[in-house]
Amino acid sequence: MDKRNRPIGVFDSGLGGLTVVKKIMEHLPHENIVYFGDTARVPYGDRSKETIIKYAKSDIDFLLTHGVKAICIACNTADSMARTEMEKLYDLPIIGVVEPAAGMAARLSENRKIGVIGTKATIKSGAYETVIHSLAPDCGVISVPCPLLCPLVEEGRFLPGDVVVESVLRDYLAPIKKAGADTLILGCTHYPLLYDVIEKLLPDVKLISSGFASTETLIRTLKGLDLLNPSEEPGQIEFYVSDAPERFAENGGMFIGKKISGKVEEVVV
């Protein structure tokens, strides 16, 4: 098979990575995608580094059985804790979400104060600070762990006017507001669903979606390796999960922007 016709593999601990799939579909509409959501082991955000590396390896091994031409780690936690190890193990392009978003924030920040919100593991890893300081040593970074946000989003609590999510976000965003950051990285692929609420609370702050930034990097990578699919037909998506396919199919639509059609298959990894 022509390598260009092979699918792109995308994985996440659950539903959040679908926000990355949404961006890939918008900007690379002819690409085929195989998505794996590790719903049996979600969340990754409070796991040890060793465990996350083990999970990421099994996720990629599964995607490789589908002959993927590139891997998107659509999970900030897995990217920040495991991507370096995965790049040593596998000989194919592996695109994360941390470096693209950090690079975009470093370019856009005018007052050199950048906020980052993410899971406990992502924030503890210091991955965003490391990348930002390597690109822009003059930037200050204010990082805040937000463990309640993913569960709230998965329960559908992400709309403006929801007093619970607004109260939680107001508390989490207080240090970033106090520091006067002009740019905020949404360091979890669940967080684009909170975009409108965050924008309401921080109206003068530029918001960086890691999914959007990573798709730009994916396009450049595939183009540079001559791996863009030459087909003019719409790309197809296959969905796989490690648990609860019915719940994934029911709730996935709010992440991907449309109802998930077709079968969501449960697999063991």
Active-site residue, from 72, 139, 150, 188: 188
Residue boundaries of the structural domains of the chain: 3-96+213-266, 98-210
Residues 98-210, CATH architecture: 3-Layer(aba) Sandwich (3.40)
| Rounded Cα distance, 252 and 15, in Å | 6
Residues 3-96+213-266, CATH architecture: 3-Layer(aba) Sandwich (3.40)
Q: Where are the alpha helices (DSSP H) in the chain?
A: 18-27, 49-64, 76-89, 98-108, 120-125, 127-135, 149-154, 163-179, 195-201, 210-224, 245-251, 253-256
Q: Which residues contact 128 (CB under 8 A, 6 or more apart)?
A: 80, 98, 101, 102, 116, 118, 122, 141, 143, 185, 187
Active-site residue, from 75, 139, 146, 150: 75
188 catalytic? Reply is yes
| Rounded Cα distance, 182 and 204, in Å | 7
pTM equals: 0.92
* Per-residue tokens: 173: 């965003």
Strands 206-209 and 140-145: unpaired
> Does 98-210 match 3-96+213-266 at the fold level?
yes
From first to last of its 269 residues, what are the pLDDT tens digits of the chain? 799 999 999 999 999 999 999 999 999 999 999 999 999 998 898 899 999 999 999 999 999 999 999 999 999 999 999 999 999 999 999 999 999 999 999 999 999 999 999 999 999 999 999 999 999 999 999 999 999 999 999 888 999 999 999 999 999 999 999 999 999 999 999 999 999 999 999 999 999 998 888 999 999 999 999 999 999 999 999 999 999 999 999 999 989 988 998 889 999 99
